[in-house]
Structure 1
Amino acid sequence: MSLLPIIGITMGDPASIGPEIAIKALLHQDLYQICRPLIAGSADVFKNIQQKLNLNVQINAISKVADAKFEFGVIDVYDLKNVEIEKLQFGEISAMCGEASFQSVKTVIDLALNNEIDATVTGPINKKSINEAGHHFAGHTEIYAHYTDTKKYAMLLVEDKMKVIHVSTHVSLRQACDLVKKERILQVVELLHNGMISLGETNLKIGIAGLNPHAGDSGLFGTEEAEEILPAVEEAIKLGYDVEGPVPPDTMFAKAATGYYGGVVAMYHDQGHIPFKLTGFKWNAEKNQMDSVKGVNITMGLPIIRTSVDHGTAFEIAGKGIASEDAMVLAIESAVQLSKYRKSVAV
C-alpha cells in the first residue's frame, strides 16, 4: 500500500457537482488497489454530501497527509475549513465558493511541489466564482502554469482513441487565429508526443488540423495554413515526429475517432472540444440529463502531474445525487498512469 502513488483530488466548486463526483469516485474500491486518494477541500462539504446522499462512508478530516488512512470506505479530506456550510447554496455563484475551490487547487499544487503527493486531479470550478473571490485566472490550466512558473504548456484531452491537444484555449476566437504560429504548433506537437508516450500510446502518428475551412483550400479561404501550419509540419518531420497536415478538421477528427491518429493538434478551443465531447458525453433526451460523461483533461508541460474531469460544474444538477463520476474515475486512473511513467523514467 505504501508504494502506491498518493493522488491529491480537489473539491471543485462546493456549489457544483465537484464534491459529489469526488466522493462517488472513491466508492470504486478498485481505485484503492492502484493509488492512495486524498481530497483537498472542506470536510463539512463532504459530510453534507455524505448525509444528503446517505452514503456508507466515513469522512476523515485531516490537517496533514501523514494522518490519512487510505482505506476503502474512508474518505480522507485534507480539511481547509473554508466553507460556511449554512451559507452554501447549490448551483449558485459566490465568492465564498470561488475562494474555497481556488484554495483547494492551490493546496494540491503546493503538496505536489513539496513531493507530499505524487499527482493532482481537479474537479470542476466556476470561473466567475473564482474571479469574484479576487483570483483572476481563465481556468485551471492558467492557475497551474502561474504557481509552477511554467511558460510552455498545453491542454491535452483524452478519451479512449481520441487524444486532442490545443494550440490555444481560453481566448477569444479572434485572438485564437492570431496565436496560430509555427513555433507554438511545434511546442504542442512535442508536448503531445511526450504525452502519448507517457500514457502508453503506441501509435505516435499525429494529425495537425487546419485553421480555415478545407484547411484554407490552397489559400482561397485563408493563408495561415501556408504561412504557419505547413512550415510547422515540415519542421516537425525534420525533427523526427510522425505528423500529417494541415488536415481539414472535419476529416481529421473522423479519422482520429477510429484510432488512425494516436493524437491530433487542434488550433483553438472549440475545434478540439466539440468532436472530443461528441465521443465521450452521452446525453439522455428522455431523462434530460447525461447518462455518462467521459473525458480527461491533462495539462502537459508542468513539473507536476495534473489531470482533470473535462466537464463543467453542472450547477443545474448539483446536490441532486445524479451526477456521473465516470470522468473523475478516468482522471484518477490517468494520474496514476502518468505517475507510474514519471517514476519509471526517473529511475
Structure 2
Amino acid sequence: MDLKPVLAITIGDASGIGPEICLKALQDESVYRSCKPVLIGDLNILSFYVERLKLPFQLNPITKISNAKFTPGVIDLFHLDTIDMNRFQFGEGNSMTGKAMVDYTKLAVDLALKGDVDAVIGGPHTKSAVEKAGIFFDGYPSLIAQLTNTKEEETFLMLVSDHFRVVNVTLHVPLQRVLELIKHPLVFKAIQASHYAGRMLGIHDPKIAVAGLNPHASEGGLYGQEEQFEIIPAITQAKEAGMDVKGPFGSDILFAEMGHYDIYLAMYHDQAHIPMKMKAFKQISALTIGTPILFSSIGHGSAPDIAGKGIADPSGLLKTIQLLCNVQSKKSDSYYK
C-alpha cells in the first residue's frame, strides 16, 4: 500500500511567481518519492510557463483525486477557469487574480476537510489583489480559520525553518492594535497552540520561550505594564497546565541567541519575521496552527517584479513540501485535542 501523503498545492496569485515555482518544484523527482502532489490553479497560466520554460511536462486536468496519475512528468491539476488572459498581466495583481487565489484556497481546504488530500500548501499571495476583489484578507491563517470554522483567536502563524520556529501572537495588524490585543487569554492560547504544534512536529515536550512586548521585557514595569498584567499570567497558566515555557525575555537578546529553545513566541509581526528572515530568508515555511487541517504557505511573497521571467527560486516551496511530508509522518492526534 502506498502511504505517501497527498498534497494539494495552490499557485497563489497567478500574476506572481507562484505558478512558476510550483512547476519548477515538481521537476524534482524526489518530491514524488515523498508525496503525491496535485496543483490547484489555471490551465492557461501553467500552460504558458510549460511552453516558455520548455518544461517536459504533460498537464493533466482533473476533477477528482482518483483521476490523478501522481507520476513525474505529469502535472495533475484541479483547473479553475478563473483567469481571463485578456485581463491578465504578469506582475500586476488585480481583483481577478485576488479572487482566483481565494477560490484556489477554498477548493484546497474543502479537499482537505473531506479527506481527499492530507495537507495543503498555499502559493504566494498578494494582499492588495484580494482586497481589490472586495474580500477582506489579512493573511492565510485567518482565511483558513474561516474556511474550517475555527475561531480566529485560536489560529496562529508559525514560521518554520529547520530548527527555528517562531509563532506570532498577532499578525497583520497595526502596532497600535497590537497593544489592544496582547491580553492574557490570547497569549495563553498562543502558548497552547505552540505546544501542540511542537508535538505535531515530533517534539515530545517542546521548550517554549516567550518574548516580551516592551523593551527589555519592561524591566519589571519600568517600560510598560503588559508583561506584568498580561504576559506573565499567561506563562504561569501554561506552566500550571504542564507546558515547558519560560519568559518573558527581552526580544533583542532572545532572538539574537536563537537555538536554545524549540519554539519562540513573538508578540507582533516584525518581532517574529525580522529574525527569521535574517536567519533563513528563502527557507521559511509559514505553518498555520490551531486548525483541523494541515496547512502551510511559503515564507515569501509573490515577487511581482520577477513574475513571468523564468528566474524564480522554488527552494522555499521545496522546503515547505518537505516540512508537510515530515509532519504528516509524525502527526499526533494530541494536536487536534
Question: TM-score, normalised on structure 2?
Answer: 0.95
Structure 2 counterparts to residues 185-204 of structure 1, below 5 A: 185-201=187-203, 204=206
Deviation at 1:39, TM superposition (A): 0.5
Cα pair 1:203 1:262 within 8 Å, conserved: no
Q: Which runs of 5+ in 2 are unaligned?
A: none
Deviation at 1:344, TM superposition (A): 7.2
Amino acid at match of 1:121: I
Structure 2 counterparts to residues 143-292 of structure 1, below 5 A: 143-151=143-151, 152-201=154-203, 204-256=206-258, 259-281=259-281
Amino acid at match of 2:10: T
Cα pair 1:155 1:165 within 8 Å, conserved: yes
Deviation at 1:170, TM superposition (A): 1.3
Question: TM-score, normalised on structure 1?
Answer: 0.92
Amino acid at match of 1:55: L
Cα gap change, 1:135/1:214 in structure 2, threshold over 3 Å: closer, same or farther?
Answer: same
The percent of aligned pairs where both chains have the same amino acid is 38
Q: Distance in 2 between matches of 1:187 and 1:28?
A: 38
Q: Distance in 2 between matches of 1:273 and 1:162?
A: 12
Cα pair 1:202 1:262 within 8 Å, conserved: no
Q: Which residue of 2 aligns with 1:315?
A: 304
Cα pair 1:255 1:261 within 8 Å, conserved: no
Cα pair 1:229 1:246 within 8 Å, conserved: yes
Cα gap change, 1:344/1:207 in structure 2, threshold over 3 Å: closer, same or farther?
Answer: closer
Q: Which residue of 2 aligns with 1:5?
A: 5
Cα gap change, 1:86/1:48 in structure 2, threshold over 3 Å: closer, same or farther?
Answer: farther
Match for 1:332 among 303, 321, 325?
321
Q: Which residue of 1 aligns with 2:288?
A: 299
Deviation at 1:130, TM superposition (A): 1.0
Amino acid at match of 2:286: N
Amino acid at match of 1:232: A
- CA-to-aligned-CA distance 1:42-74 (integer Å, 9 cap, x gap): 111111111111112221112222111100111
Amino acid at match of 1:315: P
SS across alignment from 2:331:
helix
SS across alignment from 1:9:
strand
Deviation at 1:139, TM superposition (A): 1.9
Q: Which residue of 1 aligns with 2:69?
A: 69
- Greater shift in the superposed pair: 130-139 or 68-77: 130-139
Give RMSD over aligned pairs: 1.6
Q: Distance in 1 between matches of 2:38 and 2:305?
A: 27
Cα gap change, 1:260/1:316 in structure 2, threshold over 3 Å: closer, same or farther?
Answer: same
